[in-house]
Amino acid sequence: MLDLLSVPQQRRESIERLAQELRAGRSVAISTHINADGDGCGSETALSRLLGQLGIRSKIVNPTPWPDMYKFLLGNDVRDASDQGAKALKEADVLVVLDISDVKRLGVLAEAVRRLTIPKLVIDHHLPSDEPPSKLMLADTAACATGELIYDFATCVGLEITPDIARALYVALLTDTGGFRFSNTTARCLSIAGQLIASGVEPEEMYGRLYASMPVGRLHLLRDALATLEVDPEYGISWISVAAGAAEQYGLRSEDLEGIAEHPRSIGGTRLALFFRDLGHDKVKVSFRSTGDVDVNKFAKQFGGGGHARAAGALIEGNIESVRKKVIAAAREFLAAEDKEGVA
């Protein structure tokens, strides 16, 4: 019978190299991408506690503030020094960057990270980019989440999955698989989730914290976004938009908008879904979601973005009307080209 929990040999070798670098350090800084999500936050807090078992001090240094919805993961034993910015990186012997394949995703910390001369390590499950934060990495796109790779790190190094670590890793897996619904929900992912439940995770508690405690303002914003819904049935494109200042109007943070892009994707016949969020100052954040064999990571790269094959994003300059027009036109061309390749 296949042992779903066994760590693939290539991952094991990468983990051994990373563990050697980590053991040489006394103080480790841990970082993830701007507007950290459940995978980033869960992986960071789990790794911090695992490093503590090795006698290594660590602190989290993120480019944007810790999201409110994930503050329950921090506890008193995890130090968040994000408010100190790049200064907090100078005290570390080693930097570990999680859930990022491109250094630019570190936002205001990117340049400071480029200048660091200390060992820099990466643990990530995204497709590779032209400028990774480091070449010393544990990277595997077959992992359902970076949290899966942190679980493997704990297994290979022989560390304990405590209840707090289990909750953090469960959040990482749960959120990055869309509640175990997306195509990255593998048999191995579910096997690991089962082990985390055995280690103390209460699934109903996690559901309540992540999906049943949203602010009412999110529903107001969702109502406004759905009112903008447009569908192109010929190409299978659906899109919604949010005006500048809408999140602030309803007292929302960036993390409160997670999952809104799933609504246009849920429409029957949709192959490519788009969520346009006007950030003001001629900047528009676009979330790309897809179904079937449409690779939105490939599409997002046209606009300097990226991510996963089924979920990606990009920050595009321009007013929302011009950006929307440009992206939708490009989406039609992209899907037409993909269809032509499929026929050839």
Walk me through the domains of the chain, giving residue ranges and CATH numbers.
9-210 (3.90.1640.10), 216-343 (3.10.310.30)
**pLDDT, mean of residues 95-115:** 95
318 torsion bin: left (phi>0), alpha (psi -120 to 50), beta (else): left
**288: nearest Cα among 342, 328, 320, 248:** 328
pTM: 0.89
- Residues sharing a CB contact under 8 Å with residue 167, sequence separation 6 or more, in sequence order: 73, 196, 200, 201, 206
Q: What is the pLDDT of residue 309?
A: 86
CA atoms within 13 A on the CB side of 80: 21
Each residue of 191-224: pLDDT tens digit?
999 999 999 999 999 999 999 888 999 999 999 9
Specify the pairing of strand 57-60 against strand 283-290: unpaired
Each residue of 276-332: pLDDT tens digit?
999 999 999 999 999 988 999 999 999 988 888 888 899 999 999 999 999 999 999
- The rounded mean pLDDT for the chain is 94
Q: How confident is the model at residue 2 (pLDDT cuts 50, 70, 90)?
A: low
Q: What is the pLDDT of residue 9?
A: 95
Q: How confident is the model at residue 1 (pLDDT cuts 50, 70, 90)?
A: very low
Q: What is the pLDDT of residue 127?
A: 83
DSSP state of 182: S
Q: How confident is the model at residue 164 (pLDDT cuts 50, 70, 90)?
A: very high
How far apart, in whole angstroms, are the C-alpha atoms of residue 85 and residue 103? 16
- pLDDT above 50: residue 344: no
Which runs of consecutive H residues, i.e. helices, occur in the chain?
9-23, 38-53, 110-115, 146-157, 163-176, 187-198, 203-211, 216-226, 246-249, 262-265, 296-300, 320-343
Residue 69 contacts residue 209 (beta carbons within 8 Å): yes
DSSP state of 72: G
